[in-house]
Amino acid sequence: MKKSGFLVALFSFLLLFQNCKSQKPNPDQYQRQWMLTSLNGFSRDFLVSKRAQLDLSPTKSAPNQFRAFMGCNDLGVTAEFKKNNTVKFGDFMSTKMYCEDNKGLEKTFINMIAKMTKYKIDGHQLTLSDGKGNEMKFVAADWD
């Protein structure tokens, strides 16, 4: 009887310990090109026509440096993906071309993504959120 009680306690401890491990982000899930499909104030058709995207593909020279494109300028941003599906976006860099008929897309994207603190990947969908109800939604570019 003591032996079975010990085994149950040991199994319970191992199960509890397994669930307490910090959950590191899996880079294979988010390190890809994402097409922006939902951003407050912009229709999906407009975002598609501008080829709005966030490229989280890694580079050897700058592993936390990523690119974005909202139809005109090339954008660069730093991002750190952390445990428990949290993310911190840093400063943006941008080319400075004049963008006609962009309806403020780049400015809105930069302002919103800087506030995003959580990410969720569900299949081929990426959702960034700020915990206050604001979201940005993406679909993997290599998914039909």
pLDDT digits (tens, 9 = 90+) for 10-64: 445 444 444 444 456 677 788 999 999 999 999 999 999 999 999 999 888 888 8
pLDDT for res 129: 98
DSSP string of 91-138, one letter each residue = EEEE-----TT-TTHHHHHHHHHTT--EEEEETTEEEEE-SSS-EEEE
Q: Could you tell me the sign of the dihedral formed by the alpha carbons of 49, 54, 58, 64, in that order?
A: positive
pLDDT for res 83: 85
Q: Is the pTM of this model over 0.85?
A: no
pLDDT for res 15: 45
13, 119 Cβ separation under 8 angstroms: no
Taking only the tens place, the pLDDT of each residue in 63-112 is 889 999 999 999 999 999 998 999 999 988 999 888 887 889 999 999 99
Supply the Cα-derived Rg of the chain in whole angstroms. Answer: 20
What architecture is the 24-140 domain classified under in CATH? Beta Barrel (2.40)
